[in-house]
Amino acid sequence: MKILYAFAGVGVLLAGPECIAAQKIKIEVVEAKQNVIVTGGPKPGSPEKTETRCKTVDKDGEKTQECTTVTTPAVPPSNAPFQTSVSFSAKIILPDGTHAELFCVEFSPGCGKIQSATPERTKRTLNGASETTTNLGIFEAKRERNEMVIYTANGKRKYQIMGSW
């Protein structure tokens, strides 16, 4: 029996924090945001502009003018398409009471919106292209270093821990 305890003790020491970090924990998601950023798009052109600036110089009682001409080149119109980027962030409370801020960008593996299993309890606010949802509730999650996987009603979501709030 003592040998069994010895092997169990060595196993815990060898596994270390990595073993503990991979266990599921309960977190509270206090706030989740979805931000849409739009860039690019068609732009009008502008013609070439020439501007001459002169200043009067008084030298030995004789006034002369020194002039400088600045030319701004024409800019052709652009038909570039609009580009959008979506980012997600969340404010969570870990089991020990620590506050953490999470972030991910669309197209990152596992990144996405956190949806509550009880949407009737959440509050949603729209501000332009930004959506903020509060009171999402308690979720199961796994943490490995700075990565947090949250198990939501719409699947697993993978975020990076960026700091605290």
Q: What is the pLDDT of residues 15-66, one digit of tens each?
A: 444 444 468 999 999 999 999 988 888 889 999 999 999 998 888 888 888 8
- Residue 22: the pLDDT is 64
What is the pTM assigned to this prediction?
0.63
Higher pLDDT, 117 or 15: 117
Between 93 and 19, the higher pLDDT residue: 93
| Strand residues in 41-154 grouped as ranges (E) | 49-59, 62-72, 82-93, 99-105, 123-127, 130-144, 147-152
Q: What is the predicted pLDDT for the residue at 12?
A: 42
Q: What is the mean pLDDT of residues 107-119?
A: 90
